Amino acid sequence: VLHYQPKVNLKTGAISGAEALVRLQQTDNRLVCPAKFVNIAEECGLILPIGKWVLHEACRQTQAWLTAGLDIGQIAVNVSARELRSDFLEGVLSILNDTGLDPRRLELELTESGMMQDMEKTLEILCALKQLGVQIAVDDFGTGYSSLSYLRRFPIDTLKIDQTFVQDIGGEAGETIVSAVIAMGMSLKQRVVAEGIETKQQLDFLKSRHCAEGQGYYFGRPMSADKFATLLAAKCRVGT
């Protein structure tokens, strides 16, 4: 099943989108978190059918919300490196076609290490997606072992500051790193999203540095599609 976590415009407090996060539902209805199965699914190749299902379901649900008059903004979907190496572009095209979702509503989240594997092929796929209007985000930014030069080469729209840096806000080193990433993103004309915001102190600091968007338990945990629809319908301004 997919759960949805709100992304929030830090200036207005309005919901600007959601990230779709997969959970495995056991026969007793208990949910298993992705940390327990995504790596295994990557190793054994099952991530390919899972990833296709996730993308299809996230696009289908987003289009259903839009049709019902609920403006969700953008939907972000996580993509593993392994998916990029298969028929990824064709898969995205066919899902967009099938669900009727406007490609500009879709953002794909990739990790730095995922992008670094087979750089030329990744660049080709990302450029083709970008031409369609699909947005590209770097997830967990700052935690991979990669050179910054890829930020110039790849068509990246969004940097997601990893939650470990956000949790270091309050300490001098943490604040310096977060400020530097926000400043770099702004001058590269990329949107910066802070992940894992849990406290008002973290939020206030990010706002003082003009971070555009945020996501975290402070605003809302990942929730079922039904709960997310209720939140959207209430047009909540969450916690800013």
Are the CB atoms for 160 and 185 separated by under 8 Å?
A: no
When asked if residue 109 is in the footprint of Mg ion (CB under 5 A), the reply is yes
Q: Give the binding-site size for Mg ion (rule: CB under 5 A).
A: 5
* Residue closer to ligand C2E (CB basis): 57 or 182: 57
User: Which listed option, Mg ion, ligand C2E, none, makes contact with residue 18 (CB within 5 to 8 Å by class)?
Assistant: none
User: Which listed option, ligand C2E, Mg ion, none, makes contact with residue 135 (CB within 5 to 8 Å by class)?
Assistant: none
* Residue closer to ligand C2E (CB basis): 163 or 190: 163
Distances (CA, A) of 133 to 55, 101, 106: 16, 11, 8
| Strand-strand pairing, 74-78 and 106-111 | parallel
User: How far is residue 104's CA from residue 94's CA, in Å, rounded to a whole number?
Assistant: 15
Select from 39-47, 104-112, 123-131, 210-218 the region that touches Mg ion (CB under 5 A).
104-112
* Residue closer to Mg ion (CB basis): 32 or 233: 32
The percent helix, strand, coil of the chain (3-state, each to 5) is 45, 20, 30
* Residue closer to Mg ion (CB basis): 139 or 213: 139
User: How far is residue 188's CA from residue 191's CA, in Å, rounded to a whole number?
Assistant: 9
- Residue 68, phi then psi, degrees to nearest 5: -80, 5
- In this structure, how many other beta carbons lie within 10 angstroms of the beta carbon of residue 175? 16
* Residue closer to Mg ion (CB basis): 172 or 178: 178
User: Which listed option, Mg ion, ligand C2E, none, makes contact with residue 222 (CB within 5 to 8 Å by class)?
Assistant: ligand C2E
User: What is the contact surface with ligand C2E in residues (CB under 6 A)?
Assistant: 5, 21-22, 33-35, 38, 51, 54, 78, 80, 109, 139-140, 163, 195-198, 215-217, 222
* Residue closer to ligand C2E (CB basis): 16 or 187: 16
When asked if residue 213 is in the footprint of Mg ion (CB under 5 A), the reply is no
Are the CB atoms for 142 and 177 separated by under 8 Å?
A: yes
User: How far is residue 232's CA from residue 212's CA, in Å, rounded to a whole number?
Assistant: 20
Interacting residues with Mg ion between 148 and 207 (CB under 5 A): 195
Amino acid occupying residue 106: L
Which residues of the chain form contacts with Mg ion (CB under 5 A)?
Answer: 78, 109, 139-140, 195
